[in-house]
Amino acid sequence: MTEHITGIRVDKNGVLSTVSIDDTNTHTHLMGMYQHIGCTTVDVIRLTGGIDVWVDDEGLYTQEPNPTLTAMIRVTRPFQTHLSGPGLFLTTDGEGDTRGLTEEQTATVIGWWQTANAILPVL
């Protein structure tokens, strides 16, 4: 039986979408993350509320800047350098395994996205 986790992806143009990742095993899980981010190596940025954002580890060199994602992260990490490429928001469980966002975490990420879109025209 295939298991899935749900996360939120912010693409390079700042478009927010819900994505599903096959969580049958570590390999399919990681391949799903790579697919949604568009890379072959990932890095994680830990945020408040147990929320993580996964990005392309080489994104600064291989992908275009992502102003929306950068503004979202700066809501909780004001000194974060700019990010490039898509970002994938997920969480972890008590064992440290990556999991899908809770309803509350999903609402938080959507709130960050709304804030980012409100301030981007000003920046």
pLDDT digits (tens, 9 = 90+) for 9-43: 999 999 999 999 988 777 788 888 889 999 999 99
Instruction: Give phi and psi for 11, each to the nearest 5.
Output: -75, 180
pTM of the model: 0.91
* Banded model confidence at residue 96, pLDDT cuts 50, 70, 90: confident
Q: Which of 47, 35, 48, 45 is nearest to 9 (CA)?
A: 35
Q: φ, ψ for residue 109 (rounded to 5)?
A: -60, -40
Q: Give the C-alpha distances (Å, rounded to integers) separating 88 from 1, 10, 19, 81, 106.
A: 24, 7, 9, 17, 12
pLDDT digits (tens, 9 = 90+) for 40-70: 999 999 999 999 999 999 888 888 999 999 9
Domain boundaries, the chain: 4-99
CB 84 within 8 A of CB 64: yes
Burial of residue 50 (number of CB atoms within 10 Å: 0-12, 13-18, 19+): middle
- Answer whether residue 114 shows pLDDT above 60: yes
* Mean pLDDT lowest among 64-73, 104-113, 114-123: 114-123
CA atoms 35, 3, 53, 27: torsion sign: negative
